[in-house]
Amino acid sequence: MTATTLQTTLAETRAAGRAALIGYLPAGFPDVESSVRIVEAMVEGGCDVVEVGLPYSDPMMDGPTIQRAADRALAAGTTTDDVFRVVEATAATGAAAVVMSYWNPIERYGVGRFADRLAKAGGAGVITPDLIPEESQEWVEASTAAGLDRIFLVAPSSTDRRLALTTDACSGFVYAASLMGVTGTRAQVADTAETLVRRARETTAESGLPICVGLGISTAAQAAEVAAYADGVIVGAGFCQRVLDAPDLETALTAVRSFAQELAAGVRR
C-alpha cells in the first residue's frame, strides 16, 4: 500500500529528531466554516497532524470541554458529510488529516461508504476509541480497500497480550491513552504515560510503528515532557477551551494559533 500522508508526516518528524504535534477539533465547532478556519490556524501555529472529530451525542471517552464543543457542533447541525468537508480543507493545508470517531456513527453511515468518502476527501485514517481489533474485521476490510490507516487505543490497563494484539492491528500510529479517564486539561501528565509507551515499544520494535500520547496534555512544558519519549503529542481540550473562551471568531483564531505555536515550541525542544 502507498504510504499515507500520516505515515509520511510522522516519518518526516522522526527524521527531524522531534515528535509530531497532533491537534484535535470537532468538525462543525462552533460551525462548519468557522471550524475550517480554526483548523487552518492550528496548522499555521505548528500542528503537523489534525484529528477532525466527528461530533457524537454519547462521547464516553470525552471530558466536559470536548463534550461542550461537540454539543455546539451538533446544535449547529453538523453532519457526517460536513466532517468530510472539514477533512478536505484540513488536507488542503498540507497537514495530515485523520478522523476521530466512535464506531456507531461510522456503522450508521455505512462502513465502506465512510471509508471511501474519507479517502476521497484526502483523509489518511481514523482513530476509533471504542472499537477493538477483535471486532474490527469489517473496518479492516473497508479501510484496507480505501488505503486508510487504522488507529486503535492502548491504555495503562492493557495487558501485554492486549498491547501486542492492538499494536499489531494499527497502522499510522498507536494511540497511547496516558491515563484511565476522559479527555481534558490536567496539571501534570500522568506518570503512567511513559511506562505505557515503553511497554508498547516492545511490541513495535520490529515494525517501528510510531506511538503517540494523548489525554491531559495542555501546556508547552507538558508537550516537551511527552515529546521526550513519544513520537507524537496529542492535544484536544486545550484547543477547544480557547474557542469556548473566545468572544468572537477572530479572537479564537488568534488564541488557537498562539497556543499551537507554544506547543510546537515544546515538541521541538
Where in the sequence numbering do the catalytic residues fall? Answer: 51, 62
Rounded CA-CA distance 91/98 in Å is 9
Contacts of 102 by beta carbon, 8 Å cutoff, 6+ apart: 54, 56, 58, 59, 60, 128, 129, 130
* Residue 52 and residue 69 in contact, taking contact as beta carbons nearer than 8 Å: no
Pick the closest to residue 82 from 117, 50, 57, 116 (CA basis): 117
Instruction: Give 134's DSSP letter.
Output: G
The C-alpha cell at 81 is 458529510
CA distance 197 to 97: 23
Contact 240, 66 (CB under 8 A): yes
CA–CA separation, 93 and 32 (whole Å): 16
C-alpha 117/C-alpha 106 separation (Å) is 11
Asked whether the beta carbons of 179 and 213 are under 8 A apart, the reply is no
107 and 131 Cβ atoms separated by less than 8 Å:
no
d(CA 190, CA 198): 14
Report the C-alpha gap between 233 and 224 in whole angstroms. Answer: 9
